[in-house]
Amino acid sequence: MRKPEPVQVIKTRRDAALRRLVQSVPYIQYLGVQFDRRGDELTAVLPYREDLIGNPLLPAIHGGVTAAFLEITSIIELTWSSQWSDMEEGKLNGDTLPPMPKTIDFTVDYLRTGLPRDAYARARVNRSGRRYASVHVEAWQDNHDRIFAQATGHFLMPPREDG
């Protein structure tokens, strides 16, 4: 029986893997999207900024920002969940960037106005096969019960090295 790893070692490894993933994408940095991690569960956070506005009269967050936020959340969740077991076994190579899935299509439902404040999102991988994956994602602001946008996307998975 192996002694369990100290919790701090596990946390450091997981946080480093997530940071590497998120910081490698310039557009995620540009929008300022951050990820909170609780175990394997990720919550994306989009801190409000004035230049995210799409309708200055309301004011409301730009639909394109919402779409981008949902797509970023989906791709990170998909990459994160597919590298999870490799990461836990210490097989992740810290020097190379993880290969990213490619978006095939992405459909956004705008349910409510995106208000000028922080937004949150969580994605669920409904199916992840060898080549294709289907992901659903929901975003909310102050109140988790009042989702302001949701999306479904299909993704082409990067080829796995172990075939």
| Binding stretches for another protein (CB under 8 A) | 24-31, 50-56, 60, 62-65, 67-69, 71-72, 97, 99-100, 102-110, 113
Shortest CB 95 distance to another protein, Å: 13
Shortest CB 81 distance to another protein, Å: 19
Shortest CB 50 distance to another protein, Å: 6
Write the single-letter amino acid at 87.
M
Nearer to another protein (CB atom), residue 12 or residue 126: 126
Nearer to another protein (CB atom), residue 54 or residue 147: 54
Shortest CB 91 distance to another protein, Å: 20
Nearer to another protein (CB atom), residue 12 or residue 23: 23
Nearer to another protein (CB atom), residue 42 or residue 74: 74
Shortest CB 48 distance to another protein, Å: 12
Sequence-ordered strand ranges (E) for 39-146: 41-46, 53-55, 60-61, 102-110, 119-128, 132-140
Q: Residue 34: beta bridge partners?
A: 45
Token readout for 160 is: 């796995």
Is residue 141 within 8 A of residue 119, CB to CB? The reply is yes
Nearer to another protein (CB atom), residue 47 or residue 64: 64
Contacts of 123-128 with C-beta under 8 Å, sequence gap 24+, read 123/42, 123/44, 123/70, 123/73, 123/74, 123/76, 123/77, 123/78, 124/77, 125/77, 125/78, 125/81, 128/78, 128/81, 128/82, 128/157
